[in-house]
Amino acid sequence: MDLSVLRGKKVLIVDDEQDVIETIVDLLDECQVESASDFASAKALLGRHKYDAAILDIMGVNGFDLLEVAMANQIPALMLTAHALSADNFKKSISAGAYAYIPKDEMINIPDYLAELLLAAPKGKKSGKWFTRLTPAYDRLFGQDWKTTDKVFWDDFKDQFTFTKEELTRIL
């Protein structure tokens, strides 16, 4: 993936684990990165600055509430989580407007996921590449039937994201 889209982009990272923040800052060395390790600091930054994107943890920082603030400020967000990794939190994240729901095990690939977000966001559709890549992991984590539990959600998901016909057949 061409990561040149990251150059100079302003990104907010919110996580209560300092080592996670440091790792992501290192991975996004072409971006202007600000960080917060708690809800109050992150909410203040989201209210004061315009970011090209936000990367939000769920647990420990009230990530869903921060996602709501980011969406209200028209800041596209990736949810990055380890402890809140579940099918329900996947649906909750996407339903609340998150661009993607990424396990922390995939943190090394955050530049790719962020580049996808930055390329897709201006077009008004979300790329489904992250989901295509992560579906096998989600199937292992959540069980084979996790995508059959909520038809309304999955119909809306297909409408929000851009997939090739082959990807749709394989995924859903």
For 88-94, the CB contacts below 8 A with 24+ separation are 89/58, 90/138, 90/142, 91/150, 91/153, 92/64, 93/58, 93/64, 93/67, 94/153, 94/157, 94/160
Q: Is the pLDDT of residue 171 over 60?
A: no
Rounded to the nearest 10°, the torsion over CA 136, 2, 116, 32 is 120
pLDDT tens, position by position, 91-147? 999 999 999 999 999 999 999 999 999 988 777 767 778 988 898 999 999 998 888
Is 47 within the bounds of a domain? yes
The CATH number of whichever domain residue 107 belongs to comes to 3.40.50.2300
pTM of the entire predicted model:
0.92
Q: How far is the C-alpha of 166 from the C-alpha of 43, rounded, in Å?
A: 40
Is 69 within the bounds of a domain? yes
What's the confidence (pLDDT) of residue 79? Answer: 96
Total number of domains in the chain: 1
Domain span at 12: 3-124
